[in-house]
Structure 1
Amino acid sequence: MARARPGDAGTKVLKAASTLFYRDGIHAVGVDTVAAEAGVTKAALYGNFGSKSGLVVAYLRERDRRWQEEVDRITAAHADPRERVLAVFDAYEAWLSRDGYRGCAFQNAASEFPDPADPVREVVRHHKTALHGYLRAQLRRGDRGDPERADALADELMLLLEGATATSVVAQGPQPFETAKRLARTLTA
């Protein structure tokens, strides 16, 4: 396997880790495997990320960044806040179907890192809080008269999204998102 050029080792490590951590699980993949897959030395991996924990945090942050781009791309086609909220269900379905229905990387990471104070869990919380905030902001725009209703509805929609995500792993298909979106359409009417 060819070794990475200086300067792009971090990018190669992050790409390899992203594939391996998502496919096989974070704890199941060692740094030796990531380094070998990336074509870099372990010293290059540690030089870029400091530790496996640092690499896991970087992997989740990069996944969060890419997810935000996906949501922005899919929801930008809709001017109506309600339609933007519903488009998030489409974004989830598209994202997870592309990844082979292995579930939410953030849910998966949370299950592997049970300590709420772990830096990995902090990234997971940030990701889920940002999504909840997006839903809440859109719902408040669409229902200016009752922010409490919008907040409660954002909570309900998060449960629908998270449930559909977990159920899609078992179903290995999009049907849970179709059901969840139908319910979300009713709730937001």
Structure 2
Amino acid sequence: MPTPRDFSANHQRLIDAASALFFRDGINATGIAAVAEFAGVSKMTLYAHFASKDELIVAFLDKRNERWDAAVQQTLASNESPAAQLLGLFDLHQQWLREGGWRGCPYVNSAAEFPDRTHPVRLAVDRHKRGVKRHLLDLAEAAGLSNPQTLVRRIFMLLEGAFLTGALENDDSVFLIAKDLAAELITAAQSA
């Protein structure tokens, strides 16, 4: 009889396996059997944890979002001013692109594979992206920057564009350009 510890370990192993395979092969190209085999469990065990592949995908995205939020908090703690914290998020995005093996953003990749905006996977993507924007807005407001909503939209576009371009070109130096542009936007918003 499996213990709660075994259940928890299998659950995490399944999410880790899904993460590795979804990144490597794509979500739609990765079957449930492949995830179970990669995790070293049976399909029956997988279905004891996740009622469907969609549920597994959402769990993978939500777990990654938890890790992302923790990394954001660590980045914010290591920078002094809200403006410096905003710029620090460019460094964090750059680091995650490298650590992700240049495979791009799993949320953007998931959105591309699930175009229906009402699908549970798309809702998980939207939760994450709204969270990124919320962090940016909180920092812009804390810094007392003028027109924070517009500034956040611009900075968000720079972050997303740098992540996608970096993945497409296998070149993270685009973050330096995006960060410089964001610094100019922040300076302009400080003096306005």
Q: What is the rounded CA distance, in whole Å, between the counterparts of 2:165 and 2:57 in structure 1? A: 25
Q: For 1:116, what is the secondary structure of its paired residue?
A: coil
CA-CA distance at 1:188 after TM superposition: 0.3
1:81/1:141 contact within 8 Å kept: yes
Which residue of 2 is the match for residue 116 of structure 1?
117
Pick the aligned partner of 1:176 from 174, 177, 189. Answer: 174
Q: Paired residues, what number? A: 182
CA deviation digits over 1:18-58, x for unaligned, max 9? 11111211001000000000010101101101110000000
Which residue of 1 is the match for residue 153 of structure 2?
155
CA deviation digits over 1:97-140, x for unaligned, max 9? 11111111100000000000000000110100011011011001
Alignment of 1:39-58 (within 5 A): 39-58=40-59
With the length of structure 2 as denominator, give the TM-score of the two structures: 0.92
Q: What is the rounded CA distance, in whole Å, between the counterparts of 1:110 and 1:83 in structure 2? A: 30
1:97/1:173 contact within 8 Å kept: no
Q: For 2:74, what is the secondary structure of its paired residue?
A: helix
Q: What is the rounded CA distance, in whole Å, between the counterparts of 1:6 and 1:161 in structure 2? A: 39
CA-CA distance at 1:143 after TM superposition: 1.4
Q: Percent of aligned pairs with the same residue?
A: 37
Structural RMSD (CA): 1.1
Q: For 2:116, what is the secondary structure of its paired residue?
A: coil
With the length of structure 1 as denominator, give the TM-score of the two structures: 0.93
Structure 1 residue ranges, 4+ long, deviating more than 6 angstroms after superposition: none
- Unpaired runs of 5+ residues, structure 2, are 188-192
